[in-house]
């Protein structure tokens, strides 16, 4: 992994998730993963939104790399393949813009997790358009 990715994965991403979730660090046995909803999304700065999306795409990229190395001889598709195809060609700013538009146009969906909106409203339609 490039050193620029290491600082992002090891330093920035956990902080961003905590900031967006409004939480504080917890001991490992108490750790629950925050679910970022539209409430946190619409209150986040542009930099926080970009960091969130960059963190997600970095995780997807890392998972893809790991799958390629570990399971090089397996065939088939995975959810990760869907993410890669669904976000192909989109800039981080494009993703943030689409998420902003979704929550702005659907204020009653503020409790809907950002990752769910990203999958069903951004990635899946992008896959359908690519076919």
Stretch 114-119: mean pLDDT: 90
Please tell me the predicted confidence (pLDDT) of residue 1.
Answer: 44
Query: Are residues 109 and 38 in contact, defined by beta-carbon separation less than 8 angstroms?
Result: yes
Please tell me the predicted confidence (pLDDT) of residue 71.
Answer: 57
Q: How confident is the model at residue 72 (pLDDT cuts 50, 70, 90)?
A: low
Q: Is 35 exposed, middle or buried (0-12, 13-18, 19+ CB in 10 A)?
A: middle
Whole-angstrom distance, CA of residue 107 vs CA of residue 117: 13
Whole-angstrom distance, CA of residue 23 vs CA of residue 15: 10
Q: How confident is the model at residue 66 (pLDDT cuts 50, 70, 90)?
A: low
Query: Are residues 59 and 80 in contact, defined by beta-carbon separation less than 8 angstroms?
Result: no
Bridge partners of residue 37, in order along the sequence: 113
Write the DSSP assignment of the chain as a string of letters.
--HHHHHIIIIIHHHHHHHHHT-----GGG------BHHHHHHS-HHHHHHHHHHHHHHHHHHHHHHHHHSTT--S--HHHHHHHHHTT--HHHHHHHHHHHHHH-GGGTTSBHHHHIIIIIIHHHHHHH-
pLDDT tens string 33-45: 678 899 999 999 9
């Amino acid at each position: 992994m490039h050193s620029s990715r290491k600082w992002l994965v090891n330093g920035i991403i956990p902080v961003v998730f905590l900031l967006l979730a409004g939480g504080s660090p917890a001991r490992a046995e108490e750790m629950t993963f925050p679910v970022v909803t539209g409430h946190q999304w619409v209150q986040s700065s542009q930099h926080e939104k970009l960091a969130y999306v960059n963190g997600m795409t970095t995780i997807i990229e890392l998972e893809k790399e790991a799958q390629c190395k570990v399971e090089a001889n397996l065939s088939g598709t995975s959810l990760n393949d869907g993410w890669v195809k669904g976000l192909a060609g989109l800039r981080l700013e494009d993703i943030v813009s689409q998420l902003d538009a979704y929550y702005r146009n659907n204020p009653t969906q503020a409790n809907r997790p950002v990752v769910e909106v990203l999958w069903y409203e951004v990635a899946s339609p992008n896959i359908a358009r690519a076919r």
